[in-house]
């Protein structure tokens, strides 16, 4: 009984030394290669199960925005081209996966009024990838599988900043996969990283605030407690809009209007 705890602790000590760009300590037990493989496999699966849009204007628009964003993603996150697919589905959703994969549902294009707002969405999703959030979630899941008792002991030993994540990872009935809702700290980090990224890519960073206001409106109009899909996996609230507004002076420093990619949203 003692051995797994010792092994687990050693594992944590070895892997807990990294931190995210906002300074959050991270526990990551998987290699980038493993994550890339999982991302690619999940993406292939999605492509088999969900219809893909063949509308040229829509694909050109999404590709144009995605290209502008991914150009500014460090090579250490993904080398080479990103694969961008527009799924023909009314779902208000989008995602990015390790291994350079981006999926955008046509449903979300009804909420994004222009290239800047789509830039905010793709920036946010790629932000999750840049900050290795899938790795953290899968690591939490792995620790959960290694046993409640051992993991509880490990929590006591881990950096206190990680405790929230670890405790969440221990929660009953939590299901971790590559595509799943993120926790509040991940959402907040993706918002900040995403806003900087969209600004660097030539998109007006204040569009991120307008986007979430649109999302909130959509959620309010969609009937009794039935939020749009993107809202349900990306809990939006006043805190998020407030944080994006507070961060705006920082991201504006990265924003150069001359950089604007001029991606045209089809009418």
* Interaction site with Zn ion (CB under 5 A): 182, 190, 234
- Give the residue with the Cβ less far from Zn ion, 16 or 190: 190
Q: How far is CA 254 from the centre of its chain?
A: 21
Which residue has tokens 């002076």?
Answer: 249
- Give the residue with the Cβ less far from Zn ion, 200 or 234: 234
Beta-carbon contacts of 49 under 8 Å, excluding residues fewer than 6 positions away, are none
- Give the residue with the Cβ less far from Zn ion, 38 or 126: 126
Task: Supply the minimum distance, in Å, between the C-beta of residue 244 and Zn ion.
Answer: 13
Task: Supply the minimum distance, in Å, between the C-beta of residue 190 and Zn ion.
Answer: 5
Task: Supply the minimum distance, in Å, between the C-beta of residue 161 and Zn ion.
Answer: 20
Task: Supply the minimum distance, in Å, between the C-beta of residue 186 and Zn ion.
Answer: 7
State the Cα–Cα distance between residues 43 and 200, nearest whole angstrom. 27
Among all residues, whose Cβ is closest to Zn ion?
Answer: 234
CA-based torsion, 28, 30, 31, 34: positive or negative: negative
Task: Supply the minimum distance, in Å, between the C-beta of residue 180 and Zn ion.
Answer: 11
- Give the residue with the Cβ less far from Zn ion, 95 or 154: 95
- Give the residue with the Cβ less far from Zn ion, 4 or 183: 183
- Evaluate whether 43 touches 97 at the Cβ level (below 8 Å): yes
Q: Which of 58, 50, 87, 91 is nearest to 222 (CA)?
A: 91
State the Cα–Cα distance between residues 182 and 219, nearest whole angstrom. 19
* Phi, psi angle pair for 259, to nearest 5°: -85, -10
């Amino acid at each position: 009984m003692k051995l797994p705890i010792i092994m687990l602790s050693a594992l944590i000590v070895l892997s807990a030394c990294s931190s995210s760009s906002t300074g959050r300590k991270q526990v990551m037990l998987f290699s980038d290669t493993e994550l890339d493989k999982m991302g690619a496999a999940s993406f292939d699966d999605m492509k088999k199960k969900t219809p893909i849009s063949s509308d040229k204007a829509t694909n050109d628009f999404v590709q144009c925005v995605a290209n502008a964003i991914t150009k500014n993603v460090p090579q250490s996150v993904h080398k080479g081209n990103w694969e961008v697919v527009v799924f023909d589905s009314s779902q208000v959703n989008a995602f990015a996966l390790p291994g350079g994969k981006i999926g955008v549902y046509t449903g979300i294009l009804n909420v994004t009024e222009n290239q800047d707002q789509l830039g905010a969405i793709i920036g946010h999703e790629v932000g999750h990838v840049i900050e290795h959030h899938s790795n953290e979630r899968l690591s939490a899941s792995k620790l959960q599988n290694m046993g409640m008792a051992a993991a509880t002991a490990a929590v006591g030993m881990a950096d206190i900043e990680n405790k929230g994540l670890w405790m969440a990872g221990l929660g009953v009935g939590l299901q971790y996969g590559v595509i799943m809702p993120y926790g509040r700290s991940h959402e907040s980090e993706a918002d900040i990283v995403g806003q900087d990224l969209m600004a660097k890519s030539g998109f007006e960073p204040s569009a991120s605030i307008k986007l979430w206001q649109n999302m909130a409106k959509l959620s309010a109009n969609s009937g009794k407690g039935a939020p749009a899909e993107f809202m349900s996996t990306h809990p939006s609230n006043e805190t998020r809009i407030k944080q994006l507004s507070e961060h705006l002076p920082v991201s504006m420093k990265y924003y150069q209007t001359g950089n604007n990619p001029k991606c045209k949203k089809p009418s």
